[in-house]
Chains A and B, each alone.
Chain A
Amino acid sequence: MTTQINTIQALNWALDDALAADPNVVLFGEEMADPEGGGIMKVSAGLSTKYGGRVRSTPISEMGFTGAAVGAAIVGIRPVIEIMLMNFVAVCMDQITNHAAKLRFMSGGQTHVPLVIRTMTGSGFQTGGQHADFLEAWFCHTPGIKVVMPSNPADAYGLLRSAIDDEDPVIFVEHLASYWSLGAAPERGKSIPLGKASVVRSGKDATLIGYSRSMLDIPVVAAKLAGEGIDCEIIDLRTVSPLDMDTVLTSVKKTGRAVIVHEAVKSFGVGAEVSARIHEALFRELKAPVQRVASKDSPVPFAKQLEAAFLYSHADIEKAVRDTLR
């Protein structure tokens, strides 16, 4: 049996290996150094002890330290910063979308920003409206930024290594519920390329597309449907921007049906983009309209029952698949 680790361990390995491989890699963010706890989720535990001043805790100043990461990156430092929760990107969006994303273009290619912003989010923990949003669409809508959203420990390791080696700014979104879920241990030192989706189950009847949290749910529904003879193909996008449409279109061409599932709210989301691109490319080959399954268009609520009603359910995914088969 292969070794199983959780995502926290995988991310810690990726950071450790990146720090060891390149002296320009530097980590900073709130509470990342060991005296402050090694990160709120312990993702950076042990690293400041091992690498000294290259792993730093910052003041609670997301705009200040994100901008500092941009400045350091343009002169060859490779900062990996941590924005504790994805909602807090709202206080440093200027540095991300006006600066990190655009400096390569606005400078005519004279500078660029090899920066990784790690952040985490996810509903299900009753953290309410400002601690649980999936905001990836904000960044996908900004040319110049890449958006990476792993769903399991091995992908988290390999994608983070690639993100740190990448010459463009990358938003790396970790999902709270999957931090402790176990998966096959990654091969240390082995990167997974950005912009490449993974076909995690092959099937012929419908293509289920997800990333991050929804990859915990899609296989459960697919297994149930398989019991009824409905054979689903499952694609984990892994990188949300740039989208690997080759893999998606190859699959949908085969199945003629597609369902995209994400935890982010539905309107104007990644699902809308994927759906639009499938329709643009394969309109005449589709057997049914592409379905989207997502959270309700609402702020994330606090109360347990409201939070459950906000998020899609397995039944929603199942219904969407059945709708494409009618």
Chain B
Amino acid sequence: MSEKSSQPSSKVLVDIYRKMVQIRQNDERFISMMKAGKMVMPYYSARGQEAIPAAISVQLSDDDYLVTIYRGIHDMIAKGVPPRLIWAELAGRSTGACKGKGGPMHITHPKSGCMVTTGVVGAGMPIGCGLALASQLRGDQRVTVTNFGDGASNIGAFHESLNLASVWKLPVIFVCQNNRYAEHTAFSKGTSIERVADRAKSYSMPGVTIDGNDPIAVYEAAKTAIERARGGSGPTLIEALTFRFNGHLIGDAGEYIPKAEYQAALEADPYPRFRQWLLDNRHSTAADLEALEGKVKSDVDDAVKFAFDSPLTDAAEIGIDVYADTSA
């Protein structure tokens, strides 16, 4: 990371860091609760990918739309989905974001703009186009950010979506969080091109590859894409290079990842790197960051308590919200 004249203010940088801390601390607590046997769920940790949603969402409002995927709780937290609602959802409680009927792969929270979370690889991108189409029809200046992994760049929905977004000049930003593995398959073994961003050329839109572990690089790429979308010039594809430290899902020992690669990725972990950079460049002080981290910890404690103090969702909910006339 390097100082640039265009870079965000110290306040924004600390806001980005706060989102990264929220993501990391919640992630660590999910895993510890699962290991303690207090929660059972398919959990796809995004530990290592924190910088991407943090530096994008700090530039969005609640009115802007987010579409994310099963590995998406980092995106939700950064966009502003309250941790209490996430925790209660994962714990199967009636106070959960979706009353415990969606779970970790399907959290929705329209108040913060989190419109759809999908468990099907690539399926969020067409939906992101539709949200952007609604904004275009209404002229409401909203931007849609739709997230996906490197594996999803090989599914048809990606190509249909980029084409449609380009043909209709939709205000959508495609964010490929390239964590190098599509489930257990290395990027290079399953992808015909060196850089996902180069696929943007086929669809006549800008495509940029950035270091997804560098919050300032992410911030700048997102800023350009957001301005382009809001200005009516259409979509952008951003490929943010990163890594996920906890495998495809919790329980995956990651035997398919070479040890040297994993070690190198650990050394590029965005979290400690950005913290140190903030201190070295005097954007904050150790005391302030410790206070921030302490506040996030107490927020996580509060969210966990809220979730486990809440009633379990009643079985009668199964028949509710299937059709309009079965809505509560």
Point out residues on A near B: beta carbons under 8 Å. 26, 53-54, 56, 58-59, 61, 63-77, 79, 94-95, 98-99, 103-112, 143-144, 146, 166-168, 242
Judged by a CB distance under 8 angstroms, whether B130 is at the interface is yes
Judged by a CB distance under 8 angstroms, whether B235 is at the interface is no
Judged by a CB distance under 8 angstroms, whether B133 is at the interface is yes
B323 touches A168 (CB 8 A): yes
Partner-contacting stretch, out of B109-117, B245-253, B264-272: B109-117
Residues of chain A lying within 8 A (CB to CB) of residue B130: 67-74, 77, 79
Known contacts A106-B101, A108-B101; decide if A61 and B120 are in contact (CB<8 Å): no
Could you say which of B130, B134, B167, B168 has the most chain A C-beta atoms within 10 Å of its C-beta?
Answer: B130
A67 touches B161 (CB 8 A): yes
A71 touches B133 (CB 8 A): yes
Closest chain-B Cβ to A9's Cβ sits at a distance in Å of: 27
Judged by a CB distance under 8 angstroms, whether B230 is at the interface is no
Residues of chain B lying within 8 A (CB to CB) of residue A71: 67, 115-116, 126-134, 144
Judged by a CB distance under 8 angstroms, whether B125 is at the interface is yes
Closest chain-A Cβ to B104's Cβ sits at a distance in Å of: 12
Q: A58-B164, A67-B130, A71-B67 are in contact. List 19 more A-B contacts (CB 8 A).
A: A61-B163, A64-B161, A64-B164, A69-B130, A71-B129, A71-B134, A72-B130, A74-B131, A75-B65, A94-B120, A95-B123, A104-B327, A106-B106, A107-B108, A108-B100, A108-B321, A109-B320, A112-B324, A166-B324
Known contacts A64-B161, A109-B320, A111-B108; decide if A72 and B133 are in contact (CB<8 Å): yes
Complex CA gap A110/B129 in Å reads: 20
Could you say which of A65, A69, A73 has the most chain B C-beta atoms within 10 Å of its C-beta?
Answer: A65
Judged by a CB distance under 8 angstroms, whether B315 is at the interface is no
Q: Which of A68, A75, A109 meets B321, CB within 8 Å?
A: A109
A26: nearest residue on chain B (CB-CB)? Answer: B137
Which size bracket describes the interface of B in this complex? 35 or more
Complex CA gap A285/B164 in Å reads: 56
Known contacts A98-B123, A166-B324; decide if A63 and B133 are in contact (CB<8 Å): no
Residues of chain A lying within 8 A (CB to CB) of residue B132: 71
B94: nearest residue on chain A (CB-CB)? Answer: A108
Judged by a CB distance under 8 angstroms, whether B200 is at the interface is no
A67 touches B323 (CB 8 A): no
Judged by a CB distance under 8 angstroms, whether B99 is at the interface is yes
Complex CA gap A61/B311 in Å reads: 44
Q: Which of A75, A99, A110, A167 meets B131, CB within 8 Å?
A: A75
A74 touches B116 (CB 8 A): yes
Complex CA gap A214/B134 in Å reads: 39
B102 touches A67 (CB 8 A): no
Known contacts A70-B126, A76-B134, A111-B115; decide if A105 and B164 are in contact (CB<8 Å): no
Task: Provide 19 A-B residue pairs closer than 8 Å at the C-beta atoms, listed in order of the A residue.
Answer: A56-B168, A58-B164, A59-B163, A61-B163, A65-B160, A67-B161, A69-B130, A71-B133, A71-B144, A72-B133, A74-B127, A94-B157, A95-B126, A103-B116, A108-B100, A110-B109, A111-B116, A144-B323, A168-B324
Residues of chain B lying within 8 A (CB to CB) of residue A79: 130
B164 touches A59 (CB 8 A): yes
Chain B, interface SS category:
mixed
Closest chain-B Cβ to A50's Cβ sits at a distance in Å of: 16
A64 touches B115 (CB 8 A): no
A61: nearest residue on chain B (CB-CB)? Answer: B160
B164 touches A65 (CB 8 A): yes
Closest chain-A Cβ to B230's Cβ sits at a distance in Å of: 17
Residues of chain A lying within 8 A (CB to CB) of residue B161: 64, 67
Q: What per-residue 1/0 map shows which CB atoms of B155-193 lie under 8 Å from chain A? A: 011001101100110000000000000000000000000
Q: Which of A77, A105, A166 meets B101, CB within 8 Å?
A: A105
A53 touches B137 (CB 8 A): yes
Judged by a CB distance under 8 angstroms, whether B118 is at the interface is yes
Residues of chain A lying within 8 A (CB to CB) of residue B119: 98
Q: What per-residue 1/0 map shows which CB atoms of B44-67 lie under 8 Å from chain A? A: 000000000000000000000101
The 8 A-B pairs of least Cβ separation, nearest first, read A67-B126, A71-B130, A64-B160, A108-B98, A68-B130, A107-B108, A108-B99, A71-B127
Residues of chain A lying within 8 A (CB to CB) of residue B123: 67, 94-95, 98-99
Complex CA gap A112/B65 in Å reads: 16
Complex CA gap A58/B126 in Å reads: 13
Judged by a CB distance under 8 angstroms, whether B322 is at the interface is yes
Complex CA gap A112/B326 in Å reads: 12
Complex CA gap A71/B109 in Å reads: 14
Known contacts A63-B160, A67-B123, A95-B123; decide if A105 and B321 are in contact (CB<8 Å): yes
Complex CA gap A167/B97 in Å reads: 21
Q: What per-residue 1/0 map shows which CB atoms of B129-143 lie under 8 Å from chain A? A: 111111001000000
B321 touches A63 (CB 8 A): no
Complex CA gap A95/B100 in Å reads: 22
B108: nearest residue on chain A (CB-CB)? Answer: A107
A107 touches B126 (CB 8 A): no
Complex CA gap A18/B98 in Å reads: 32
Closest chain-A Cβ to B81's Cβ sits at a distance in Å of: 12
Closest chain-A Cβ to B119's Cβ sits at a distance in Å of: 8
Q: Which of A65, A72, A105 meets B134, CB within 8 Å?
A: A72
Could you say which of A71, A106, A107, A111 has the most chain B C-beta atoms within 10 Å of its C-beta?
Answer: A71
Closest chain-B Cβ to A7's Cβ sits at a distance in Å of: 27
Closest chain-B Cβ to A263's Cβ sits at a distance in Å of: 26
Complex CA gap A92/B82 in Å reads: 33
Judged by a CB distance under 8 angstroms, whether B36 is at the interface is no
A63 touches B137 (CB 8 A): no
A167: nearest residue on chain B (CB-CB)? Answer: B324
Closest chain-A Cβ to B74's Cβ sits at a distance in Å of: 20
Residues of chain B lying within 8 A (CB to CB) of residue A242: 323
